[in-house]
Amino acid sequence: MDIAGPFAPVLLETLSACGAGAVLLVDLFTPEARKSRVGAASLAVTAILFLAAWFGMEAGGETATLFGGSLVLDGMAVFLKRTFATAGLLAVLAAIRYEDRLPRGRGEFHFLLLSALTGMFLVSSVGDLMSMFVSLELVTLSFFILAAFRRERPESVEAGLKLLVLGSLAAAFVLFGTAFLYGATGDLTFAGLRDHLASLRGAPPSRDLLLGLLFVLLGLGFKIGMVPMQVWVPDVYQGAPAPVTAFLAVGSKAAGFALVLRLVTTVAGPGTKDSLQLLFTALAFATLFYGNLAAIPQTNVKRLLGYSSIGHCGYLLMGLAALGPASYYDESAAASGAAAILFYLLAYALTTFGAFLVVILFSAATGSDEMDDYAGLSRRSPLLAASLTVALLSLAGVPPLAGFFGKFMLMRSVALTGPAGFGLLVAGAVNVVIGLYYYLCLVKRMYVHPPKDASPLPVTGPTAALLYALTAALLILGIFPGAFVTLASDAARAAFGVGG
């Protein structure tokens, strides 16, 4: 069902921007004693967004544009917007469970969550580099304030400051790259870039264009936590408030990959695919091993999830490496790589929130994020332990969970590229084993080690329902992925211009 007609490309953006303003107003007119209404208003906004994204937009419709091509709505954008809407709803649900720990400023907290969400919706459908920069900065700016939101805690301020300083560096890379791209093509739109490359008829593009692309990719690499732009990830994940960390892990990564995918589908062609494939293979190798090896010695759960999220960025980069070498070049391999990335992002969103919800509830009850304090969690709260275990196994890629199918699709797309992808395939498999090791270390603590403090941790009814729902979603996505895979494949095939 298409409820917005020609305005479909700005439907969710308008709703969430207005919703963010409404939340600020609700906060203004609500007395201090009834501040939980602010969270309820924010929840209502994200619930409407969730419904509008999944049931109010056509997935397979014609590509619609607005503002002279500044905003483009195609299948890939719809899929990404659905992922973001899901993540936004989960972020607000998680934030409501956290906000008792915020001394004040609930209105601002929810406003910033929604403004970040607005930026993510926009990022998934931008059509030119200027709009891309503005939308991307909306996401980054919101997250920088959210990370530093608990000003009374030095770690939180440190997280915000790191995000700000390194984020500015990344923004400078994006802008500098944009300037080079404009210099090389005389156009700021993705369509113009595509036309320019097509006019080269397979000849390699000029060096300034390649440099521009490289700079923009490096800037975006910051958002997704790609080596060598990953240094901020562990500190920010550890220092930021937990709901922010979860939203950042999902939202920043998905927003970055939305743009990387948009850029790669634009520039992938006979003249560039060799360099792109080489570049992404190297980046995937480095990111996979850095993230997963550095995760092993961690003792803090948020930091562990931070390093593992770098590892997940490495898996996602495998999908881009599936662009394939010239001799095996096959649009369907590239499209299957993009489809795998889209599916993986959705699965990763659900899984990450599943894990972080437990982290939030646990630290609310005990005030700790240390892995050693998770000892014996199965005896203190079987539900929390089981939910976290399922989420961790999904992150590790154990069947029949959502994470398994995502990894399977990524590996399959790399395998489609022929012998050149073999090394990467082996690297991916080795990293799955490394990942399994450190995730299971935490599971072992929860189930085998005796608790230091045996007092049970109560879980209230609505929270338990949320945990059950997330766990069920991970199982459903893993066991019956068909419908979602079809959506992702259709979107990716359309983006790469592959018929049927």
Residue nearer to another protein on the CB measure, 195 or 453 = 195
Q: Which of 49, 120, 122, 316 binds another protein (CB under 8 A)?
A: 122
String marking each residue 67-86 x if it binds another protein according to CB under 8 A: xx-xx---------------
Q: How far apart are CA 420 and CA 274, in angstroms?
A: 11
Q: How far apart are CA 352 and CA 91, in angstroms?
A: 11
* Omega before 228 within 30 of 0, i.e. cis: yes
Q: Is 32 in the site for another protein (CB under 8 A)?
A: no
Q: Is 17 in the site for another protein (CB under 8 A)?
A: yes
Q: Which of 47, 214, 364, 365 binds another protein (CB under 8 A)?
A: 214
Burial of 465 (0-12, 13-18, 19+ CB in 10 A): exposed
Positive or negative torsion for Cα 222, 224, 228, 231: positive
Q: Is 362 in the site for another protein (CB under 8 A)?
A: no
Q: Which stretch in 144-152, 267-275, 338-346, 467-475 sits in contact with another protein by CB under 8 A?
A: 144-152
Q: How far apart are CA 471 and CA 468, in angstroms?
A: 5
Q: With beta carbons less than 8 A apart as the criterion, state whether 253 and 319 touch.
A: no
Q: How far apart are CA 74 and CA 59, in angstroms?
A: 8
Q: Is 134 in the site for another protein (CB under 8 A)?
A: yes
| Close Cβ partners of 387 (under 8 Å, ≥ 6 residues apart) | 354, 357, 358, 467, 470, 471
Q: Which stretch in 48-56, 88-96, 123-131, 477-485 sits in contact with another protein by CB under 8 A?
A: 123-131
Token readout for 171 is 């923004």
Nearest distance in Å: CB 134, another protein? 4
Nearest distance in Å: CB 231, another protein? 11
Give all strands (DSSP E) within 33-87, no chain letters: 64-66, 71-73
Residue nearer to another protein on the CB measure, 68 or 297 = 68
Residue nearer to another protein on the CB measure, 99 or 128 = 128
Q: Is 144 in the site for another protein (CB under 8 A)?
A: yes
In eight-state DSSP terms, residue 450 is P
Strand, helix or coil at 225? coil
Q: Is 272 in the site for another protein (CB under 8 A)?
A: no
Q: Is 367 in the site for another protein (CB under 8 A)?
A: no
Q: How far apart are CA 159 and CA 249, in angstroms?
A: 14
Q: Which of 103, 367, 450, 500 binds another protein (CB under 8 A)?
A: 103
The size of the interface with another protein (CB under 8 A), counted in residues, is 41
- Rg over alpha carbons for the chain, rounded to the nearest Å, is 22
Q: Minimal CA–CA distance to 319: which of 259, 216, 221, 408?
A: 408
Q: Which of 155, 158, 208, 330 binds another protein (CB under 8 A)?
A: 208
Q: Is 335 in the site for another protein (CB under 8 A)?
A: no
Q: How far apart are CA 99 and CA 39, in angstroms?
A: 8
Residue nearer to another protein on the CB measure, 208 or 331 = 208
Nearest distance in Å: CB 118, another protein? 7
Nearest distance in Å: CB 17, another protein? 6
Strand, helix or coil at 377? helix
Q: Is 91 in the site for another protein (CB under 8 A)?
A: no
Nearest distance in Å: CB 32, another protein? 11
Q: Is 130 in the site for another protein (CB under 8 A)?
A: yes
Q: Which residues bind another protein (CB under 8 A)?
A: 17, 24, 66-68, 70-71, 103-105, 108, 111-112, 115, 118, 122, 128, 130-131, 133-135, 137-138, 141-142, 144-145, 148-152, 180, 184, 206-208, 210-211, 214
